[in-house]
Every structure is written in C-alpha cells, then in structure tokens.
Amino acid sequence: KAGVTQTPRYLIKTRGQQVTLSCSPISGHRSVSWYQQTPGQGLQFLFEYFSETQRNKGNFPGRFSGRQFSNSRSEMNVSTLELGDSALYLCASSLALGRGQETQYFGPGTRLLVL
C-alpha cells in the first residue's frame, strides 16, 4: 500500500506570494492532519480534516487555510507569505474510525523556503 504522498517536495517562494500544498492520504484513510515543523518551534499542529470538515485547528493566523476533498485528498494554502513561514509542512493520515487517537502516518513533507 502506498504511503502518504505530498507534492511538491520542495518549493521556493517570495514574500507576499501564496502557495498551495497537496497531500494524498493512504488509501482508505479518512482523516488528514497538517503540521508545520521548524527548528525553533518544532512540530506544531495546523489543521485536522475528516469527511471534508475541519475538525480541529491550531493557533495559526488566518493566512493558513486548508480543505479536504471527497476522495480524502487535502490541500493547504498559505497566502501573503512571510519569511517565518519557511518550514517543513507535514501531512499525516489515519483511518479515523471515529475514536480519535488513531495511528497517524506522516508523509515526507514539503519543504517551503520563503525569500
């Protein structure tokens, strides 16, 4: 079974631009979560989606948004990029049997560099 895939793997943008990152979960997984990883702040939760609905949101500004499609694929968007948005963005999927606390499988991440 293929793992979580994320595209693109690397991205360079300039301040003020916007970016869209894509995540394809493991087949059959219904929940997708996004995390931002930086050397200074570590791994921080961005959003959690289940059945196309945002179930949870982290403490990030409104410039960060996301969505989930009917096939469970997910995208996240960052508008008006700032230098501090440079990070590794990780997507994770789980079976989401309704109990929470499912094993989450992470993708390799998209490394975003904002210049």
Partner 1 sequence: QQQVKQSPQSLIVQKGGISIINCAYENTAFDYFPWYQQFPGKGPALLIAIRPDVSEKKEGRFTISFNKSAKQFSLHIMDSQPGDSATYFCAASGVVTDKLIFGTGTRLQVFP
The site for partner 1 (CB under 8 A) is made up of 4, 31, 33, 35, 42-45, 48, 50, 55-56, 58, 90, 92, 94, 96, 98-109
The two tokens of residue 46 are 């961005």
Compute the distance between CA of residue 68 and CA of residue 51 in angstroms, rounded to an integer.
7
Q: How far is the CB of 84 from partner 1 (least distance, A)?
A: 18
Compute the distance between CA of residue 75 and CA of residue 46 in angstroms, rounded to an integer.
12
Q: How far is the CB of 16 from partner 1 (least distance, A)?
A: 29
- Cβ nearer to partner 1, comparing 67 with 79: 67
Q: Are 4 and 19 contacting, i.e. CB atoms less than 8 angstroms apart?
A: no
Q: How far is the CB of 107 from partner 1 (least distance, A)?
A: 5
DSSP, collapsed to helix, strand or coil, labels residue 109 as: coil
